[in-house]
A and B are shown apart, each in its own frame.
Chain A
Amino acid sequence: MDSVFLFIQILNGLQYGLLLFLIASGLTLVFGIMGVINLAHGSFYMIGAYMALSLTQLTGSLPAALLLGIPIALVLGYGMEGLFIVHLYRRDHLDQLLLTYGFILILNETQSIIWGDDAHGVPVPSWLDLSLPLTDTLSYPVYRLAVSGVCLVLAIAMYLVIQRTRLGMMVRAGESNREMVEVLGINIRQLYAFVFSAGICLAAVAGMLAAPIESVYPGIGEQVLIISFVVVVIGGIGSIKGAFVGSLLIGLAQVFGQVLLPEFSGAVVYALMAAVLLWRPTGLFGRA
């Protein structure tokens, strides 16, 4: 392979990985800290994408849609936690799977009723609708690079919040020992509600940012759900750092699987997951 194309493929892998990170980080937060398996995580990615569609039509710009969409997503997450998820903390994972699977069906049907079953395109903001020429024939859309930039900024922000702030300290403490945190006088209920809505919000933001790249169509949420779980498992459940490394690994594996092993490209990421789990059964950064 030409070194220029090798470089472009690495860029493709990293760029895809960063987007995956944004989706998977919310899942790993909720899964790792609250112990809740949220199968409906992908549905909130879908809701984000459809919000980008409607709010962009309404306001005429994607940044405005983002500003409007984030509070909506937070409210949705807060409401879902307070009304439904709260009943599941003391139950086993099967009950959580059943409820959140039910949410997938309900949200998909709601999407079909509100937006119909057509595929839609969301326009790239005009000031980002450029391409950088890389070779004679190939250029790189600036919007994709901008999304990568946003994902990187969010990753750093998340790291700082969790490692350096009082809130982050509470979240980490809640992850290791719920009872002790409660005894120390911290309102764990509120903390969980916050973490859950933040997780939902991350999924929705990923959906909104991805909408101009991915287009918006029914079933878009299920596509990302499985690969997000793979990322979470590879990185180690609950570890943001793990989700970051896992996402980039998956992004690169996907791209180079397709280039080097085209016949097995569908299986490469799962082979990678199996290999990581054999080596480290709790994932790269997971704690036993």
Chain B
Amino acid sequence: MRYEKKRSASRRTVIKGLGAGLGLAAAASFPAPFVRAQSAPVKVGILLPYSGTYAKLGDAITNAMMLNIAENGDTLGGRPVEYIKLDSEAAPPKATENTNKLILSDKVDFLVGPVHSGVAMGMAKIAREEGVITIVPNAGADQITGPLCAPNVFRTSFTNWQPSFPMGKVLLDKGLKNVALCYWNYGAGKQSAQGFIDGFVPNGGTIVKEIGVPFPEVEFQAALTEIAAANPDAVYVFFAGGGAVKFVKDYAAAGLKDSIPLYGSGFLTEGVTQAQGAAAEGIQTTLHYADTLDNPENKAFRAAYKEKFGAEADVYAVQGYDTGTLMRIGMDAVGGDMEAKNDLIAAMDQADFASPRGPFKLSAAHNPVQNFYLREVKNGVNEVISVAYEGLADPAKGCTMG
């Protein structure tokens, strides 16, 4: 927009002063459009929640992404960066309008967001049609890199299926063969449960009870009674945020913690162990990151994040940081030329780098192929016990690309 305006304005002045013929010559001697575009800022549109339940996630992702680009001299492919932030409010009904605003009125070069899978579904459909390079830094809906996959859509987080799949084998190795499942009965919860089933049942495990709790209901007593009645070897759950705090505390208060071990997708104990207190101690979960991961990238990242924002980085921050890396890889490959979109996409597609979470590359469907770690809560911290699955890719069911 800005570039177009400047250009037509200067052309008008030239024509006024020198006449049509000379004017044309002067216009030709102007810097070529590409060179001018290079000094114009790259527009990064960010659609993340900055209010409501997910505000903390939105802030962590934004902070870490900007930190990454700041480490690159606040440039992408040699061009300065302009951020356009929009509060998604984690509200799916507003996803279309917000996405359209960023793509059509602000004409962003990159679209980053969202946190909420419902928002992601609305956003991905438009991003596919408009072809804007989109990076999803959290929302785990399997569909985004499944049936809705597209060359211009990338994800730096996970699919809901991914963190649960490795746990099946972990439990079987421990000799826990009869497991009860309990999860919030909505998209993420169901996909997470499916991930666990896929890793557990084909290898000889049995699901003795499956309990879906209506989302976002947090009254778990009935479910806990059902679990006690089924008396399984172990319980695998998907809950996050306030629900995770409450489930873990209720589970301990019901006396089940001592008799039936509790396992979960990593979000069960991510960022909430302080609130869960002693009830969380000893719970094992699987996730693509842990604060305590011992690698140089993680240490450097956590130190830089803490120095700049005065807070501890978390898994969401890592996803934001890698969003920055992915953009840098693409823009460096084409020297900042957004016109060379196919080359840019190809470079991002081939990205292979050391992330704070460990080795990071993308599957053909543009979802991370990454390690999943078995972690255990010790003194309120998720300590890494082992790599539960190395380089796990999502099956990307329904994706016809690549």
Which of B256, B271, B277 sits near A118, CB closer than 8 Å? B271
Residues from 115 to 169 in A contacting B, C-beta threshold 8 Å: 116-121, 123, 131, 133, 135-141, 143-144
A13 to B222 CA separation, bound complex (whole angstroms): 8
Query: Which of A112, A219, A256, A262 is B242 in contact with, Cβ under 8 Å?
Result: A219
Chain B positions 201-236 with a Cβ under 8 Å from a chain A Cβ: 210-219, 221-226, 228-229, 231
Q: Contacts A118-B271, A119-B242, A121-B245; is A109 near B253 (CB within 8 Å)?
A: no
Q: B253's contact among A5, A131, A133, A216, by CB below 8 Å, is which?
A: A131
Instruction: Give the Cβ gap from B31 to chain A, nearest Cβ, in Å.
Output: 47
Q: Is A220 an interface residue (CB 8 A)?
A: yes
Q: How far apart are the CA atoms of A256 and B272 in the complex, in Å?
A: 30
Which B172-200 residues sit within 8 Å CB-CB of chain A? Answer: 185
Residue of A nearest to B260 (CB): A137
Known contacts A215-B246, A266-B185: A223-B222 contact under CB 8 Å = no
Which one, B217, B218, B228, B244, contacts A266 given CB within 8 A?
B217
Given contacts A16-B221, A138-B224, A217-B53, contact A266 B214 (CB under 8 A): yes
Asked if B254 is at the interface (CB within 8 A of a chain A CB), the reply is: yes
A67: interface (CB < 8 Å): no
Residues of B that sit less than 8 Å from A by CB: 51-53, 55-56, 185, 210-219, 221-226, 228-229, 231, 241-242, 244-246, 249-250, 253-256, 259-260, 271-272, 274-277
CB within 8 Å for A139 and B255 given contacts A121-B249, A215-B242: yes
Chain A residues near B254 (CB-CB < 8 A): 131, 138-141
- Contact between A265 and B212 (Cβ–Cβ < 8 Å)? yes
Q: List 29 A-B contacts (CB under 8 A).
A: A9-B225, A12-B222, A13-B222, A16-B221, A108-B51, A112-B55, A118-B274, A119-B241, A119-B245, A119-B272, A121-B245, A131-B254, A131-B255, A136-B259, A137-B228, A137-B259, A138-B224, A140-B254, A141-B254, A143-B253, A215-B246, A217-B275, A218-B52, A219-B53, A223-B216, A223-B218, A255-B221, A258-B214, A265-B185
Q: How many residues of A contact B (CB 8 A)?
A: 48
B275 touching A16 by the CB < 8 A rule? no
**Residue pair B53, A214 in contact (C-beta under 8 Å):** no
Whether B219 pairs with A254 at a CB distance below 8 angstroms is yes
Contacting pair A108 B52 (CB below 8 A): yes
> B211, B229, B245, B255: which contacts A217 (Cβ < 8 A)?
B245
Chain B, Cβ-Cβ closest to A132: B255
Judge whether A121 and B277 touch: CB under 8 Å: yes
Q: Nearest Cβ distance between residue A254 and chain B, in whole angstroms?
A: 7
Distance A119 CA – B51 CA, assembled complex (angstroms): 15
**Also in contact, A258 and B53, with CB within 8 A (given A136-B259, A137-B228):** no
CA distance A255 to B219 in the complex (A): 9
Q: Given A137-B256, A137-B259, A266-B214: A217 and B221 within 8 A (CB)?
A: no
Say yes or no: is A83 at the interface (Cβ < 8 Å to chain B). Answer: no
Q: Are the C-beta atoms of A262 and B260 separated by less than 8 Å?
A: no
Residues of B within 8 A of A109 (CB): 51
A258, B223: Cβ atoms closer than 8 Å: yes
Interface residues of A in 168-217 (CB under 8 A from B): 213-217
Cβ of A1 within 8 Å of any chain B Cβ, yes or no, is yes
Write out the residue numbers on chain A whose beta carbons fall within 8 Å of the beta carbon of B55.
112, 117, 218
- Closest Cβ of chain A to B168, distance in Å, is 22
- Asked if A112 and B51 make an inter-chain contact with CB atoms under 8 angstroms apart, the answer reads yes
Chain B positions within 8 Å of A258 at CB level: 211, 213-214, 222-223, 226
List 9 tightest A-B contacts by C-beta distance, closest first: A266-B214, A217-B242, A139-B255, A138-B228, A12-B221, A121-B275, A141-B253, A215-B245, A255-B222
In the complex, per-residue mask of A1-27: 1 if CB is within 8 Å of any chain B CB, else 0: 110010011001101100000000000
Given known contacts A5-B229, A215-B242, A217-B241, A117 and B56 CB-to-CB distance under 8 angstroms:
yes
